[in-house]
């Protein structure tokens, strides 16, 4: 068993839990630390607020799915005592070899019996997808759900029409309350994605200052395009219930479908034995979704594409959902699942192994960066024109020359095509000052991870710096 600080950070639910676990170690709260001879189990006692210490353990009999146990009343998983136990091991505290406690033997036996009984639950995603493919589709059920969704789209279209007729400046607190009630009704039609789009509209209305309604209008345009596309798509689906879902766009998810890993596997939306490296990480508050979102951008060594990962942490469940963090290692992933999408499709994985990032890895990233800015602009503008596609795609730019023009950095490729670097404070991304302090004029053998932005208010097409990649390191400008 090789427990490192990096691996612990991948397991802890949030930064606060990690700190609390470390504090227990620094305050010498642990005693009677033991380890099984085969290294698959560690356990010990941790002093708490009561008279008796808590008994906690970390069971690595299945290294890919460690089991944490503690008799404390905490609902956080793993609790701070289990996390502290891991840090105690990683920091080299003395663990004495001992026989496995009988109660853990019994718990291991129960897990084994449960796994043997639920063979289906223990099947690989590939096996489950294969079984799912063999089953005939429930055509009547698909038609019923599609009809309900079409009814929901009609309700949503009427709601949108009422909002437009009301006039944005006429939407006061009372009107917002009425709209919120009607948005809640959309949850009855299996169109949670459309419902989320309306909730985001309410949030944008709350952010309006003076007569500046640009972001509200953008959201209205998105909803209008989404409802139009949804009606067309669902009408075709109702007429052809045996057809496969749309795999070249995110329309299913935008309507409200939650993709299962077995679905992605069934339709070939996965990659075996993938290796990825994180280029950038950010965590932000999505008030429309009522959740914090941990978002990472990753370079895929095999395809050269940039994927994004998203970890949703609803306000109501912050204590119980693990917070993602910056990852400094390369991930070796047995099965990488890729959601339908556009420029930066969302990716997800169930397990991974860590390895150190090498200079060769970073050079591969640099070599994959785009050297022709004109082509980047052309592709991005084509994407941005579609209201349903990514408005701020992330790209890799190969740097050639950089200089100051007024207050901003200007990047120039070998053909003299230029891109201006400008922050996106509305997305909580302010990295230009950091970039100015480290970016050399001679930028040979350097790449920049950049988010593209077409500012409708100013008419300026720009990029926002996320990270700088040089042969010996990746300099993250956000985290």
∠ CA 149-248-424, rounded to 5°:
90
pLDDT of residue 123: 56
Q: Of the candidates 324, 345, 360, which is a domain's last residue?
A: 360
Do 305 and 351 lie in a common domain? Answer: yes
Task: Say how far apart CA 57 and CA 20 lie, in whole Å.
Answer: 17
Q: Give mean pLDDT, residues 198-208.
A: 91
Question: What pTM does this model have?
Answer: 0.75
Q: Of the candidates 310, 331, 360, which is a domain's last residue?
A: 360
Q: Of the candidates 239, 269, 286, which is a domain's last residue?
A: 239
Do 115 and 80 lie in a common domain? Answer: yes
The verdict on residue 244 lying in a domain is no
Strand order in the sheet with 67-70: 67-70, 54-59, 41-46, 30-35, 96-97
H-helix segments, 59-190: 80-90, 102-117, 119-122, 125-134, 139-166, 173-185
The verdict on residue 133 lying in a domain is no
Do 18 and 65 lie in a common domain? Answer: yes
CB neighbour list of residue 261: distance below 8 Å, 6 or more residues apart: 125, 337, 348, 350
CB neighbour list of residue 114: distance below 8 Å, 6 or more residues apart: none
Do 308 and 265 lie in a common domain? Answer: yes
Do 13 and 113 lie in a common domain? Answer: yes
Do 311 and 385 lie in a common domain? Answer: no
Please say if the pLDDT value at position 33 is more than 70.
yes
Please say if the pLDDT value at position 1 is more than 80.
no
The verdict on residue 286 lying in a domain is yes
* Structural domain harbouring 192: 139-239
The verdict on residue 396 lying in a domain is yes
Do 295 and 280 lie in a common domain? Answer: yes
CATH number reported for the structural domain that contains residue 307 in this entry: 2.40.50
The verdict on residue 186 lying in a domain is yes
pLDDT of residue 341: 85
What does the pLDDT look like over 419-442, one tens digit per residue?
Answer: 999 988 776 778 888 888 888 877
∠ CA 406-407-411, rounded to 5°:
80
pLDDT of residue 151: 96
The residue count for the chain? 479
What does the pLDDT look like over 167-179, one tens digit per residue?
Answer: 888 888 899 999 9
- The count of domains in the chain is 4
Do 284 and 352 lie in a common domain? Answer: yes
Q: Which residues of 18-32 are buried (b: 16+ CB within 10 A; e: fewer)?
A: bebbbebbeeebbee
In this structure, what DSSP letter does residue 404 have?
A: E
**Listed range (73-82, 198-207, 329-338) with the worst mean pLDDT:** 73-82
Q: Give mean pLDDT, residues 361-378.
A: 93
Q: Which residues of 384-395 are buried (b: 16+ CB within 10 A; e: fewer)?
A: beebbbbbbbbb
Most confident region among 119-123, 179-183, 386-390, 452-456 by mean pLDDT: 179-183
Share of the chain above pLDDT 90, in %: 52
Do 321 and 276 lie in a common domain? Answer: yes
The verdict on residue 125 lying in a domain is no
**Listed range (139-143, 320-324, 375-379) with the worst mean pLDDT:** 320-324
Please say if the pLDDT value at position 120 is more than 60.
no
Mean pLDDT of the chain: 88
Please say if the pLDDT value at position 46 is more than 90.
yes
Please say if the pLDDT value at position 202 is more than 90.
yes
The verdict on residue 246 lying in a domain is no
Please say if the pLDDT value at position 137 is more than 80.
no
Q: Give mean pLDDT, residues 17-26.
A: 91
Return the axis-axis angle of helices 214-239 and 192-206, rounded to nearest 10°: 170
CA dihedral 286, 315, 12, 56 (to 10 degrees): 180
pLDDT of residue 132: 63
pLDDT of residue 128: 64
Do 372 and 350 lie in a common domain? Answer: no
Closest CA to 8 of 91, 86, 111: 86
The verdict on residue 129 lying in a domain is no
Please say if the pLDDT value at position 2 is more than 80.
no
Q: Give mean pLDDT, residues 182-193.
A: 93
Do 420 and 327 lie in a common domain? Answer: no
Do 85 and 26 lie in a common domain? Answer: yes
Please say if the pLDDT value at position 131 is more than 70.
no
């Amino acid at each position: 068993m090789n427990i490192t600080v990096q691996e612990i950070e991948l397991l802890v639910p949030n930064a606060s839990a990690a700190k609390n676990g470390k504090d227990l170690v620094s305050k010498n709260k642990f005693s009677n630390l033991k380890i099984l001879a085969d290294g698959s189990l560690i356990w010990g006692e941790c002093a708490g607020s009561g008279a008796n210490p808590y008994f906690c353990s970390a069971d690595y009999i299945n290294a890919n799915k460690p089991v944490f146990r503690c008799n404390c009343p905490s609902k956080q998983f793993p609790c701070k005592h289990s996390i502290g136990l891991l840090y105690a091991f990683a920091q080299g505290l003395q663990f004495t070899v001992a026989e496995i406690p009988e109660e853990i033997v019994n718990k291991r036996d129960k897990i084994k019996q449960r796994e043997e009984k639920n063979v289906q639950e223990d099947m690989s995603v590939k096996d489950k997808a294969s079984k799912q493919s063999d089953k005939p589709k429930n055509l009547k059920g698909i038609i019923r759900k599609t009809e309900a969704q079409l009814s929901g789209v009609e309700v949503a279209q009427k709601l949108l029409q009422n909002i437009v007729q009301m006039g944005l400046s006429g939407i006061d607190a009372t009107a917002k309350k009425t709209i919120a009630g009607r948005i809640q009704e959309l949850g009855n039609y299996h169109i949670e994605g459309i419902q989320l789009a309306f909730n985001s509209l309410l949030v944008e209305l709350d952010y309006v200052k003076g007569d500046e309604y640009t972001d509200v209008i953008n959201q209205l345009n998105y909803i209008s395009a989404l409802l139009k596309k949804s009606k067309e798509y669902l009408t075709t689906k109702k007429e052809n219930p045996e057809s496969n879902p749309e795999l070249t766009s995110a329309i299913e998810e935008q309507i409200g479908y939650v993709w299962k890993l077995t679905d992605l596997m069934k339709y070939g939306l996965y990659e075996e034995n993938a290796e990825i490296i994180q280029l950038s990480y950010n965590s932000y508050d999505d008030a429309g979704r009522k959740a914090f979102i941990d978002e990472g951008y990753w370079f895929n060594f095999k395809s050269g594409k940039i994927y994004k990962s998203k970890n949703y942490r609803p306000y109501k469940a912050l204590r119980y959902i693990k917070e993602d963090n910056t990852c400094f290692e390369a991930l070796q992933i047995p099965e990488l699942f890729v959601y339908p999408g556009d420029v930066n499709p969302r990716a997800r994985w169930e397990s991974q192994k860590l390895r150190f990032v090498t200079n060769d890895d970073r050079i591969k990233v640099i070599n994959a960066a785009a050297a022709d800015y004109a082509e980047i602009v052309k592709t991005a503008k084509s994407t941005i024109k579609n209201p349903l596609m990514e408005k701020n795609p992330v790209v890799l730019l190969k740097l050639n020359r950089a200089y100051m023009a007024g207050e901003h950095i200007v990047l120039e490729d070998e053909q003299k095509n230029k891109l201006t670097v400008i922050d996106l404070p509305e997305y909580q991304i302010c990295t230009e000052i950091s970039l100015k302090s480290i970016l050399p004029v001679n930028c040979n053998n350097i790449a920049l991870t950049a988010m593209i932005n077409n500012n409708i208010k100013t008419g300026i097409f720009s990029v926002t710096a996320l990270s700088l990649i040089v042969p010996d390191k990746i300099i993250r400008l956000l985290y």
